[in-house]
Amino acid sequence: MLLDGKRLLITGVLTDDSIAWHTARIAQEEGAEVVLTGFGRGLSLTERVATRLPIPPDVFELDINAPAHMEALVDELAARWGAVDGALHAIAYAPEDALGGNFLSTPPESAATAFMTSAFSYKTLAVGLLPLLRAAGGGALVTIDFDNTQAWPAYDWMGVAKAALVAVTRYLARDLGADHIRVNAVSAGPLATVAAKNIPGFARFNDVWAERAPLGWDTANPDPVARMIALLLSDWAPMTSGEVIHVDGGFHAIAAGPGTAMAGDAP
H helices of 92-192, in order, are 108-115, 121-135, 156-176
Could you say which of 6, 93, 122, 162 is catalytic? 162
First CA to last CA across the chain, in angstroms?
A: 55
Catalytic-residue membership of 122: no
- Distance separating alpha carbons of residues 204 and 199, to the nearest angstrom: 11
Strand-by-strand arrangement of the 181-188 sheet: 59-61, 33-38, 7-10, 86-89, 139-145, 181-188, 244-247
Catalytic-residue membership of 155: yes
Q: What are phi and psi of 171, to 5 degrees?
A: -70, -35
Tell me which amino acid residue 77 is.
L
- Distance separating alpha carbons of residues 36 and 186, to the nearest angstrom: 19
Could you say which of 123, 155, 171, 197 is catalytic? 155
Active site residues: 155, 162
